[in-house]
Chains A and B, each alone.
Chain A
Amino acid sequence: MIKIGIPRALFYFRYGEFWQHFFRNLGYEIVVSPSTNKQILEQGLKYVSSEICLPVKIICGHIEVLKNQVDAIFLPRFVELNHGLYTCPKMIGIVDIAQIQVGNACEILSPKIKDNFMLAHFQTGLKLTGNPIKVIKALNRAIPYLSHHKKLSNSEDHKQRILLLSHFYNLWDDFIGKDIINSFQSCGFDIATKEDLPDKVLKSDKGFAKNIRWVYERELYNAFQYYSDKVAGICNIISFGCGPDSLIGEIMSKQANEYKTPFLQLIIDEHTSKTGINTRIEAFSEIINRNYQSKPYLTK
């Protein structure tokens, strides 16, 4: 039985469930790499230049873990999504990096996704099985899982809400996001993320958002606009070396200043310490509490 590996990084946190169901329905064995830990990260650091952002380093580590266990690694090349919006140069290039890294150890399945998400998956399935009806059936059964976004369950009592503004591959990765989420929760906050919002809000192209041609940055910016007057504070998590974030993060922090919403920018890389982040979050929660007393209308 052919084993297909899916690295638990980057796009896994949005399409992972869909992919798992799709390939299982086709009758393949799925191997998902374990959650990110220090060893995996260190493996990844060997293969990419030090300037590249943390999520890409992490996915290289996952590929390294998978490459000797499986026959093929599934790593689609996301070029364009949502009608001509780009992902990011590194997401496009990661397949080439992976190809260089893996060599002949296993195959890389990388359908090119250029506004044709379903078609690309159909072609991959067809290439693997050669049976179009089986592929369509598998796709049909997997489609419901596309809209399964990971969400945080919030408590019932009315606590102050904070917006954690970051890409899904940062926020839901155990190595990056877990500590930050825990810190905020232990400071007594409810956490809102962009995954709580409907697609209609995230994909809107009103105002400045229409100038942003990076699909995930547009989502972040729309979430920021939506929440900016509904939450007590905003925390933006940026991985060092992330190009799109360095620009849009700056624009958002300037606008947050205008709205007088407390805004915290956490820049993370492989050297970031848990303690340092905790200290900053505690200080930030102090600021929010002070700000909150002067603005009682910020309750849920």
Chain B
Amino acid sequence: MKVAFPYFGYDTIALKNFLEMLGAEVVLPPLPTERTLSLGTKYSPELICLPFKITLGNFIEALEAGADTLFMAAGARKCRFGYYHFIQETILKQIDNNVDFYPISQYTPFEFIFQKMPKIFSVSPARVMKSINFLLAHSRLIENFRKLVRQARVIDFTLASIHEKHALEIIADAINLMQIRKARKEIKALFNFADDLPENIIKVGLVGEIYLMLEPFANHDIEKELGKMGVLVLNNRSLYRHIKHLLHIDFDRIKLNHRAYKYLKESPGGEALNTVGEARTFIKNGVDGIIHIFPFTCMPENIALEALQKMSDDYSVPILSLSIDEHTSKIGLLTRLEAFIDILKRVKNQKAVSRVPRSSLLTPH
């Protein structure tokens, strides 16, 4: 059984190790490229959102690489994401009739532990739970690493990208809890040059749809590009938090939902409440701007967009909304980002000038 699943940013490593712990042989598709996207777009419905197209492209390339069992997150609720697998399955069955396609419902953790996984891999539920425990630890390590590398990019971009490669190797090699603990220390030591950040740095909070926020191919490596411009990106979304949420042990979410209540009284599905709540938290913690990224025609995020615009007026914090589809060009995106960062810099300088008390300007030193 050769298992494959779509890419999910850096957290792909954690998911890969998780499946390997259950005894599967994982065949990762080649890293997503333009070809992935054009393959996905070719077979997709016309009006569907971007994650569908990229994940479908991933699946097709995984089939080419020799995979025969495919996993996809599912769980039909208000958002379209839960319905992806119905159409993806029919499309993939047309391409290769022998493929096994397993939709994994996100909202039924007990079924996942006690029925689905033991049946597919013929392992005991205890082993599944052990693997989930490992997955949590591993994805937490990756969350940590991403936080460190975001800071390091601001200080020294070249050094950060060298260390990033090294750190990713360390993360991929960690296959038990002891090694994860060791890896955490090693990674911390790697990035210790970025421990104290300069004070007047531009901080930008990234919010939006989880796939677009985590998968660098989908978001055109927005975090890296912002890091190159010397901007500190704050991103609170990760696989670790998502799994915690699915296991009903993420208590931060309650706080976020509470914060979002001022703008959205009821969850429109997807991650809209999370987006609004995070944005408000970022603003409270004093970011200079918010970048809101979501797939074109995303239903929940479009509702969140209206709330964010109101928030932008209320707190006078600039918000940039990026709606991404397969035709979005990286250059166009970069131009918009640069212009946005220029605005943030100007606003910040004006604030700095106005904050200096009048009297101190008048008195000669």
Contact = CB atoms under 8 A, between A and B. Distances in A.
A90 B268 contact: yes
Contact of B272 (A48, A93, A213): A93
A240 B302 CA distance: 14
B266 A92 contact: yes
Interface stretch (B83-91, B341-349, B353-361): B83-91
A97 B276 CA distance: 14
A250 B87 contact: yes
B243 interface: no
Interface residues of A, number: 36
Interface string A81-109: 00000101110110111001000000000
B303 A51 contact: no
Contacts of B310: 100
A247 B45 contact: yes
B166 interface: no
A249 B90 CA distance: 14
B306 A96 contact: yes
A241 B270 CA distance: 16
A52 interface: yes
Interface stretch (B72-80, B191-199, B330-338): B72-80
B296 A244 contact: no
- Chain B at the A interface: SS class: loop
Given A112-B266, A244-B80, A96 B47 contact: no
Nearest to A48: B306
A93 B45 contact: no
Given A240-B47, A246-B48, A96 B299 contact: no
Given A49-B306, A96-B306, A251-B87, A211 B76 contact: yes
Contacts of B298: 51, 243
B45 A243 contact: no
Contact of A51 (B80, B307, B323): B323
Interface in B34-81: 45-49, 76-80
A243 B209 CA distance: 15
Interface in B285-342: 296-300, 302-303, 305-307, 310, 321, 323
A115 to B, nearest CB: 14
Nearest to A241: B297
Contacts of A77: 265-266
Contact of A267 (B47, B48, B302): B47
A128 to B, nearest CB: 20
Contacts of B77: 86, 213
B267 interface: yes
Contacts of A142: none
Nearest to B310: A100
A251 B86 CA distance: 9
A211 B297 contact: no
A51 B86 contact: no
A92 B263 contact: no
Contact of A97 (B80, B86, B267, B303): B303
Contact of A246 (B47, B272, B321): B47
Given A51-B323, A247-B45, A97 B76 contact: no
Interface string A203-214: 000001001111
A238 interface: yes
17 contacts: A51-B298, A88-B299, A89-B79, A89-B269, A89-B272, A90-B303, A92-B303, A100-B306, A112-B266, A211-B76, A241-B297, A243-B297, A246-B297, A247-B80, A250-B48, A250-B87, A254-B90
Given A49-B302, A52-B302, A254-B90, 14 more contacts: A86-B78, A88-B78, A89-B299, A90-B303, A93-B268, A93-B272, A95-B265, A100-B306, A213-B76, A238-B47, A241-B297, A243-B80, A247-B83, A249-B47
